[in-house]
Every structure is written in structure tokens, then in C-alpha cells.
Chain A
Amino acid sequence: MQIEVNGVKKEVLAGTTIDGLVTELKIVSERVAVELNLSIIARNQFNQVILKEGDRVEIINFVGGGE
């Protein structure tokens, strides 16, 4: 099924969780935050929320920046 991650279309297997997606993308999950269809997903829910066709996921982290 297809979802959108950070504005990029991506194919994932049915039943993929947020945790599964983050791992598949080789992202260190301790330092990111995730938004699913504009709602924030708490870190302890990463392994429980299962993605659906057409979901829009945002994965953010902290980068260099001042003002």
C-alpha cells in the first residue's frame, strides 16, 4: 500500500507500524517526533499504531538553526 512520508510517496507492507516504518528508514527513533495525518503520535504508541493506505506521516528531528 502507498503512504506519504515527509512529502514523499512510499510503498509499505500492510500492517506496518510507525516503529516499523522508522526502522525501515534507518532513523534513530529516540530523537524524532511523528505526526500521522496532522495528529502527534506519542513515542510509546509507535509500535501500536498501524499505518493505513493514504496515510500522511511526518517525521521530524532537530537540526542546526538559530533564528
Chain B
Amino acid sequence: MAVIDRPFIIDGVTFQSRLIVGTGKYASFEENKQAVIASGAECVTVAVRRVNILDHDSENLLDYIDPNVYKILPNTAGCYTVDEAIRTARLARAAGITNWVKLEVIGDTKTLLPDNEATLEATKVLVKEGFVVFPYVSDDPIMAKKLEDAGAAVVMPLAAPIGSGLGIRNPYNMQLILEAVSIPVIVDAGVGTASDAAMAMELGCDGILMNTAIAGAKNPIQMAEAMNYAVKAGRMAYLAGRMPKKRYAQASSPVEGMIE
């Protein structure tokens, strides 16, 4: 009998899909919308930016990604200090849609790797203010545990640097993180293609957030669908429990009854 999956719940919200997608780098709002639909994602991350007051579009992202249909997860992408990230999170909440925030405090422009120390500090402040915090962090089990202790709702360890598409660089650390914390572990950043997503899910990660892997594909909508399957397949393989690895061959056909 198939192993029944436990529900994927964050802050009391139950998701059927374990995939969270971004909204950056799409050719158009329409392409973005179609990719989100194909991905099966129910949670979508968005950036917080100044309205261009001199020449703003008549259309807005949220005209295409309906906040009544999708759970919107604002992010603090582009923030390099604790203060910037907190300010951005507060503004995001003031927009009136959600108190969830994907917290990013970036360490440098070249690697876009997280400043873990600053991320922990900002997490503490935002949790105190009632935010549901999704911190983006290095694939470090010690830091993941500290974030859990600080009240983070989930931890979001990177697979590889943002936009790199390198896949999970350290599956052993990812497993250590899964053992270290009891909050959901959502891989964030670095997934490049469907097999990367499946691998993360096979390890037992609770979910994946991706943007460039879909938006940067030659056909984003088709890749979104591929990711939908990959996340499901990887999760199911994790639940099914893979066969043990062996160093030598073992025939699966019977030896008995061979034609002589």
C-alpha cells in the first residue's frame, strides 16, 4: 500500500503543491501567469519595489497572479543589510495582502550568497513583529537550527547560488539540515532543471522554490510543467523509499528456467 504523504502546512495553510515559484525574468505577465499555472504552484513569490511614478504600467503583476487564488510570498530580494530587509518586509506587509515574508539579506553582489548572521538578526526582529518568516540561508545545519530557534516558520537553504542552475551542491548538508530542524525545509535557489528538483525532493526536502530554472528555460511554460512533475515524482520516490545502492550487478530475471 502506498505511503500517504503528510500534508504540507505552513502557518496553518495546507498546500497540495510543494513547489513555490518566482515571478522574475519573464517576457510578459501573461507568460508568467501561464508558467505558474503549468507549475501547479499555489504559492508565488514577488519582489517589493518603488512604483515608477514617472511612467508606471497600467497593468500590475497581481492582475495576473490573483492573490485570492495564490498565496503571495513577498521577498526582500536585493537587500544587503538588516535594516533594508526589515524595512522592505514592513512595507510588504503594509500592502495588506500577507504577513509572510521570504527574508533575504544578501552578503555580496558577486555570489548573492546570504549573510547568515544578518539573516538571523532580521529573523528575530520580524518574528517579534508577527511576521511569518521564510529565511533564505546557506546550506548550513547549524544556522538552520538557529533560525528555527529564532522562530522562523520554515528554513530555505540554497541548493547553489541564486540563478546559477547548478543543482544541489551539497546533498549531505541538506540531509543534515533535514535532521536538524522540525520546521519545513524548502530548497531555495540554484535548481537548474527537473532532475535537480527531483533530487531535492528525494532527499526528503519539504518543498522547493525556484524562479530562473523556469523563467530562464527556452520554453518556460513547458519547463514549469516539467518541474511540476519532477517535484511530485521526487516526493513520491522519497515516500516510496529507494532501493539500496549496490556496487555489483544483481539480475532481476530468474536464473531458473534458462534455455540450455
Q: Which of A30, A33, A35 has the most CB of B within 10 A?
A: A33
CB of B69 within 8 A of chain A? no
Chain B residues touching A, majority SS: mixed
Given known contacts A67-B77, A67-B104, is B24 in contact with A6 (CB within 8 Å)? no
Partner of B91 from the list A7, A8, A40 (CB cut-off 8 Å) is A40
CB of B165 within 8 A of chain A? no
Contact between A64 and B91 (Cβ–Cβ < 8 Å)?
no
Bitwise, B38-57 to A at CB < 8 A (1) or not (0) is 00000001111111111010
Q: Which of A58, A63, A65 has the most CB of B within 10 A?
A: A65
Interface size class of A (residues with CB under 8 A): 20 to 34
Contact between A60 and B50 (Cβ–Cβ < 8 Å)?
yes
CB of B229 within 8 A of chain A? no
Partner of A62 from the list B21, B22, B74, B212 (CB cut-off 8 Å) is B74
Contact between A65 and B47 (Cβ–Cβ < 8 Å)?
yes
Query: B74-118: which residues lie under 8 A (CB-CB) from chain A?
Result: 74-75, 77-78, 87, 90-97, 104, 112
CB of B238 within 8 A of chain A? no
Task: Give bound CA distance, A61 to B57, whole Å.
Answer: 12
Task: Give bound CA distance, A6 to B50, whole Å.
Answer: 6
Query: A23-37: which residues lie under 8 A (CB-CB) from chain B?
Result: 25-28, 30-35
Given known contacts A60-B95, A67-B211, is B50 in contact with A7 (CB within 8 Å)? yes
Contact between A67 and B136 (Cβ–Cβ < 8 Å)?
yes
Bitwise, A37-63 to B at CB < 8 A (1) or not (0) is 010111100000000000000111111
Specify which chain B residues have a CB less than 8 angstroms from the CB of A60 in the assembled complex: 48-51, 91-92, 95
Partner of A67 from the list B75, B94, B96 (CB cut-off 8 Å) is B75
Task: Give bound CA distance, A23 to B75, whole Å.
Answer: 27
Contact between B91 and A33 (Cβ–Cβ < 8 Å)?
yes
Partner of A66 from the list B49, B56, B61, B211 (CB cut-off 8 Å) is B211
CB of B60 within 8 A of chain A? yes
Specify which chain A residues have a CB less than 8 angstroms from the CB of B136 in the assembled complex: 67
Specify which chain B residues have a CB less than 8 angstroms from the CB of A64 in the assembled complex: 22-26, 29, 32, 46-47, 61
Specify which chain A residues have a CB less than 8 angstroms from the CB of B210 in the assembled complex: 66
* A-B CB contact pairs (8 Å), 18 listed: A25-B56, A27-B56, A33-B95, A33-B96, A35-B87, A35-B94, A40-B90, A40-B94, A58-B50, A61-B51, A62-B46, A62-B49, A63-B47, A64-B26, A66-B21, A66-B25, A66-B77, A67-B209
Known: A35-B87, A63-B49, A67-B188. 5 other contacts (CB 8 A): A7-B50, A62-B61, A62-B92, A65-B45, A65-B78
User: Which residues of A are at the interface with B, using a C-beta cutoff of 8 A?
Assistant: 5-8, 10, 25-28, 30-35, 38, 40-43, 58-67
User: Which residues of B are at the interface with A, using a C-beta cutoff of 8 A?
Assistant: 21-26, 29, 32, 45-54, 56, 60-62, 72, 74-75, 77-78, 87, 90-97, 104, 112, 136, 162-163, 188-189, 209-212, 215
